[in-house]
Amino acid sequence: MALGKTHDGINLFVGMVFTGLLIGVGVDYFCWPLFLFGWLFSTLIFSPDTDLMPKKRSGVLQFFLYPYSILFKHRGVSHGLLFGTLTRVIYGLVLGGLLIFVLSKMGYLELEAQTYWQRVFEFFREYNYQLPIYRSVTWLYIGLAFADACHILIDKLSSILSKMRRNY
Protein backbone atom coordinates (compact mmCIF):
# COMPACT_ATOMS: atom_id res chain seq x y z
CA MET A 1 0.00 0.00 0.00
CA ALA A 2 1.38 3.38 -0.99
CA LEU A 3 1.89 6.10 1.60
CA GLY A 4 -0.33 9.20 1.68
CA LYS A 5 2.30 11.51 0.21
CA THR A 6 2.98 9.03 -2.59
CA HIS A 7 -0.74 8.86 -3.37
CA ASP A 8 -1.02 12.61 -3.38
CA GLY A 9 2.03 13.15 -5.57
CA ILE A 10 1.08 10.56 -8.16
CA ASN A 11 -2.59 11.56 -8.15
CA LEU A 12 -1.73 15.24 -8.57
CA PHE A 13 0.63 14.47 -11.45
CA VAL A 14 -1.86 12.17 -13.21
CA GLY A 15 -4.65 14.70 -12.63
CA MET A 16 -2.50 17.38 -14.24
CA VAL A 17 -1.84 15.11 -17.23
CA PHE A 18 -5.53 14.21 -17.65
CA THR A 19 -6.59 17.85 -17.36
CA GLY A 20 -3.98 18.79 -19.97
CA LEU A 21 -5.33 16.05 -22.25
CA LEU A 22 -8.89 17.31 -21.79
CA ILE A 23 -7.80 20.84 -22.69
CA GLY A 24 -5.73 19.49 -25.60
CA VAL A 25 -8.62 17.56 -27.14
CA GLY A 26 -10.85 20.59 -26.83
CA VAL A 27 -13.15 19.67 -23.96
CA ASP A 28 -15.38 22.64 -23.19
CA TYR A 29 -13.71 25.23 -20.93
CA PHE A 30 -16.82 24.95 -18.79
CA CYS A 31 -16.20 21.23 -18.13
CA TRP A 32 -12.49 20.65 -17.56
CA PRO A 33 -12.24 22.97 -14.51
CA LEU A 34 -15.02 20.94 -12.87
CA PHE A 35 -13.16 17.72 -13.69
CA LEU A 36 -10.02 19.24 -12.15
CA PHE A 37 -11.89 20.41 -9.04
CA GLY A 38 -13.39 16.94 -8.58
CA TRP A 39 -9.95 15.38 -9.02
CA LEU A 40 -8.34 17.73 -6.50
CA PHE A 41 -11.17 17.36 -3.99
CA SER A 42 -10.99 13.57 -4.19
CA THR A 43 -7.20 13.53 -3.98
CA LEU A 44 -6.69 16.06 -1.20
CA ILE A 45 -9.81 15.94 0.95
CA PHE A 46 -12.26 13.10 0.34
CA SER A 47 -10.20 10.18 -0.99
CA PRO A 48 -10.75 6.42 -0.69
CA ASP A 49 -8.52 6.65 2.42
CA THR A 50 -10.90 9.00 4.23
CA ASP A 51 -12.16 5.88 5.99
CA LEU A 52 -8.80 5.60 7.79
CA MET A 53 -9.18 8.95 9.46
CA PRO A 54 -10.05 12.32 8.02
CA LYS A 55 -6.94 14.26 7.11
CA LYS A 56 -6.04 17.28 9.18
CA ARG A 57 -5.80 19.38 6.03
CA SER A 58 -9.55 19.03 5.55
CA GLY A 59 -9.99 21.72 8.19
CA VAL A 60 -13.58 22.26 9.31
CA LEU A 61 -14.65 19.43 6.99
CA GLN A 62 -12.83 17.03 9.32
CA PHE A 63 -15.82 17.22 11.67
CA PHE A 64 -18.13 16.15 8.84
CA LEU A 65 -15.80 13.49 7.45
CA TYR A 66 -15.16 11.72 10.74
CA PRO A 67 -18.42 9.71 10.72
CA TYR A 68 -17.42 8.34 7.32
CA SER A 69 -14.33 6.81 8.90
CA ILE A 70 -16.60 5.03 11.39
CA LEU A 71 -19.16 3.83 8.84
CA PHE A 72 -16.71 2.48 6.25
CA LYS A 73 -13.84 0.14 6.92
CA HIS A 74 -10.56 0.53 5.06
CA ARG A 75 -10.18 -1.40 1.82
CA GLY A 76 -13.89 -2.16 1.84
CA VAL A 77 -16.53 -0.47 -0.27
CA SER A 78 -14.60 2.81 -0.18
CA HIS A 79 -11.83 1.22 -2.24
CA GLY A 80 -14.16 -0.22 -4.86
CA LEU A 81 -14.06 1.10 -8.41
CA LEU A 82 -17.82 0.91 -8.84
CA PHE A 83 -19.14 1.98 -5.47
CA GLY A 84 -16.29 3.86 -3.75
CA THR A 85 -16.95 7.27 -5.26
CA LEU A 86 -20.69 6.70 -5.14
CA THR A 87 -20.60 5.98 -1.39
CA ARG A 88 -18.79 9.27 -0.77
CA VAL A 89 -21.23 11.23 -2.96
CA ILE A 90 -24.23 9.65 -1.22
CA TYR A 91 -22.59 10.34 2.15
CA GLY A 92 -22.19 14.00 1.11
CA LEU A 93 -25.85 14.20 0.04
CA VAL A 94 -27.00 12.65 3.32
CA LEU A 95 -24.80 15.04 5.29
CA GLY A 96 -26.24 17.93 3.28
CA GLY A 97 -29.76 16.74 4.12
CA LEU A 98 -28.88 16.45 7.79
CA LEU A 99 -27.36 19.93 7.80
CA ILE A 100 -30.44 21.37 6.09
CA PHE A 101 -32.68 19.60 8.61
CA VAL A 102 -30.77 21.05 11.57
CA LEU A 103 -30.53 24.56 10.11
CA SER A 104 -34.23 24.61 9.19
CA LYS A 105 -35.25 23.46 12.68
CA MET A 106 -33.06 26.21 14.13
CA GLY A 107 -34.84 28.74 11.91
CA TYR A 108 -31.82 29.62 9.76
CA LEU A 109 -33.25 28.07 6.57
CA GLU A 110 -36.69 27.99 5.07
CA LEU A 111 -35.85 24.88 3.04
CA GLU A 112 -37.20 21.74 4.71
CA ALA A 113 -35.28 18.46 4.62
CA GLN A 114 -38.20 16.78 2.81
CA THR A 115 -38.04 19.43 0.06
CA TYR A 116 -34.28 18.90 -0.19
CA TRP A 117 -34.73 15.17 -0.76
CA GLN A 118 -37.51 15.75 -3.28
CA ARG A 119 -35.23 18.09 -5.22
CA VAL A 120 -32.33 15.62 -5.09
CA PHE A 121 -34.49 12.79 -6.47
CA GLU A 122 -36.04 15.10 -9.07
CA PHE A 123 -32.59 16.20 -10.15
CA PHE A 124 -31.47 12.65 -10.89
CA ARG A 125 -34.79 11.58 -12.38
CA GLU A 126 -34.74 14.46 -14.88
CA TYR A 127 -31.08 14.09 -15.87
CA ASN A 128 -30.29 15.84 -19.16
CA TYR A 129 -26.61 16.23 -20.06
CA GLN A 130 -27.45 19.09 -22.44
CA LEU A 131 -28.32 21.34 -19.49
CA PRO A 132 -25.32 23.11 -17.90
CA ILE A 133 -26.08 21.97 -14.34
CA TYR A 134 -26.11 18.31 -15.36
CA ARG A 135 -22.98 18.71 -17.45
CA SER A 136 -21.31 20.33 -14.43
CA VAL A 137 -22.27 17.55 -12.04
CA THR A 138 -21.22 14.91 -14.58
CA TRP A 139 -17.72 16.35 -15.07
CA LEU A 140 -17.31 16.89 -11.34
CA TYR A 141 -18.24 13.24 -10.73
CA ILE A 142 -15.90 12.06 -13.50
CA GLY A 143 -13.06 13.95 -11.80
CA LEU A 144 -13.90 12.38 -8.44
CA ALA A 145 -14.21 8.88 -9.91
CA PHE A 146 -11.03 9.05 -12.01
CA ALA A 147 -9.00 10.32 -9.04
CA ASP A 148 -10.38 7.46 -6.94
CA ALA A 149 -9.56 4.96 -9.70
CA CYS A 150 -6.01 6.33 -9.85
CA HIS A 151 -5.73 5.98 -6.06
CA ILE A 152 -6.97 2.38 -6.16
CA LEU A 153 -4.64 1.54 -9.06
CA ILE A 154 -1.67 2.95 -7.11
CA ASP A 155 -2.66 0.75 -4.14
CA LYS A 156 -2.86 -2.35 -6.35
CA LEU A 157 0.46 -1.65 -8.09
CA SER A 158 2.14 -0.90 -4.78
CA SER A 159 0.91 -4.21 -3.33
CA ILE A 160 2.14 -6.13 -6.38
CA LEU A 161 5.56 -4.47 -6.20
CA SER A 162 5.81 -5.22 -2.47
CA LYS A 163 5.02 -8.89 -3.07
CA MET A 164 7.56 -9.06 -5.87
CA ARG A 165 10.27 -7.54 -3.62
CA ARG A 166 9.51 -10.01 -0.82
CA ASN A 167 9.70 -12.98 -3.21
CA TYR A 168 13.12 -11.99 -4.59
Looking at every residue in the chain, the average pLDDT score rounds to: 87
Domain of 31, in residue numbers: 4-167
pLDDT at 6 over 60: yes
Q: What is the DSSP letter of 50?
A: G
Q: How far apart are CA 64 and CA 92, in angstroms?
A: 9
**pLDDT classification of 94: cutoffs 50, 70, 90:** very high
> What pLDDT, on the 0 to 100 scale, is given for residue 144?
96
> What pLDDT, on the 0 to 100 scale, is given for residue 5?
77
Handedness of CA 70, 72, 74, 78 (dihedral sign): negative
Q: Is residue 45 a contact partner of residue 68, using CB atoms and an 8 Å limit?
A: no
In 3D space, the residue among 96, 89, 91 whose CA is nearest the CA of residue 137 turns out to be 89
Report the number of distinct structural domains present in the chain: 1
Q: Is residue 54 a contact partner of residue 68, using CB atoms and an 8 Å limit?
A: yes
